[in-house]
Amino acid sequence: MTIINNDSKIYIAGHNGMVGSAVWRALVAKGYNNIIGNSRKELDLRDQKQVMDFMQSEQPQVVVDAAAKVGGILANSENPYPFLMENLQIQNNLIDAAHKNAVPKFVFLGSSCIYPKMAPQPLKEQYLLTDSLEPTNEWYAIAKIAGVKACEAIRKQYGKDFMSLMPTNLYGPNDNFDLKSSHVLPAMIRKFHEAKLNNHTTVILWGSGSPLREFLHVDDLAQAVVFSIENKLPEHLYNVGYGEDLSIRELATTIQKIVGHNGKIEWDSTKPDGTPQKLLDSSKLQALGWNPKIGLKQGIKKTYEWYLRSY
């Protein structure tokens, strides 16, 4: 078993994204001093040879796969092929190159959308592949399921510490606020902010507002990643969630208050709702010692402050 210390070389794929940058900050805060990352121009993770050459030359002791093509319902439903193929290419290249270059520890990051649409709540790890997926993001989900299974296969066949963390809906600094490709929480922050600037005009939101969703601040996920780097966890798959959910309607009014928008909210029921509920059972990881610390209102307030500084 490889001992990980502050000098261990840790490669974060996708280090400029919301998740990767949060993991980088968390590792630096704990004294790790040999963290590496590449921009898309420097290393195209979809290119098998480039990834293999990079892994051969750098020989990291830990790889964190926080790289993915991500987006909300609209982006997923309009672009099924790239959401499937590009995510398969990125993760397959990283997992295979890490395995073939004897990287001892690999942390694969996925999403709660890997679980069946109508699975019992809260979602347990064993519900994977027990029923059909949510159609609005099944392409992304299928890619991520393949990554989970690849890490499980390497762990099973070769005894390597390759494992997967499945976070719930994430938000925080460096989130994507593009209304065509963003997830629900950052999209709401932008919509309410712009409506406030525009004399508190009406904000139109998708669906009925009834689906229940769980949200985790990305810095809490980053702590789970650090925890999984510093410990050899006994199983290959762990959920990472906040432990509570709320309706999209409740989320909207919470964000509206924090932003300071005084106008109306209208719900466009012609638009899809997605899965009725997605609440993760994160008790397996919590039993080992990780727990979320950032409350939703506090986290949204911090995220809105970051948005104001950055946009």
Q: Which residues are annotated as a binding site for NADP(+)?
A: 14-20, 109-112, 144, 167-170, 183
pLDDT band at 4 (very low <50, low <70, confident <90, very high): very high
- Reference 14, options 189, 290, 228, 222; nearest CA is 222
What is the pLDDT, as a whole number, of residue 181? 77
| Contact yes or no for 109/19 (Cβ under 8 A) | yes
Average of per-residue pLDDT across 38-63 = 97
User: Could you say which DSSP state residue 280 is in?
Assistant: B
Split at pLDDT 50, 70, 90, the class of 274 is confident
Round to whole Å and give the CA distance between 103 and 101: 6
From the candidates 11, 32, 115, 140, which is the catalytic residue? 140
Q: How confident is the model at residue 275 (pLDDT cuts 50, 70, 90)?
A: confident
The pLDDT value given to residue 2: 67
pLDDT greater at residue 21 or residue 117: 21
Tokens 């796969």 -> residue: 65
Domains and CATH numbers, the chain: 10-174+215-244+278-294 (3.40.50.720)
Binding residues are 14-20, 109-112, 144, 167-170, 183, 191, 206, 213, 273
Residue with tokens 């064993």: 126
Taking residues 72-79, what's their average pLDDT? 81
Sheet holding 277-278, edge to edge: 246-247, 212-213, 277-278
Q: Average pLDDT of 59-85?
A: 90
- Nearest 10 degrees: Cα torsion 218, 300, 179, 276: 80
- Identify which of 308, 280, 145, 153 has the alpha carbon closest to the alpha carbon of residue 220: 280
pLDDT at residue 149, as a whole number = 98
Q: Specify the residue for token string 């989900």.
A: 141
**Packing angle between helix 296-310 and helix 184-197, nearest 10 degrees?**
60
What tokens does 161 get? 């510490």
Q: Is 140 a catalytic residue?
A: yes
What's the pLDDT band for 192 if we cut at 50, 70, 90?
Answer: very high
**pLDDT for 1 beyond 70:** no
Q: Report pLDDT digits (tens) over 223-266.
A: 999 999 999 999 999 999 999 999 999 999 999 999 999 999 99
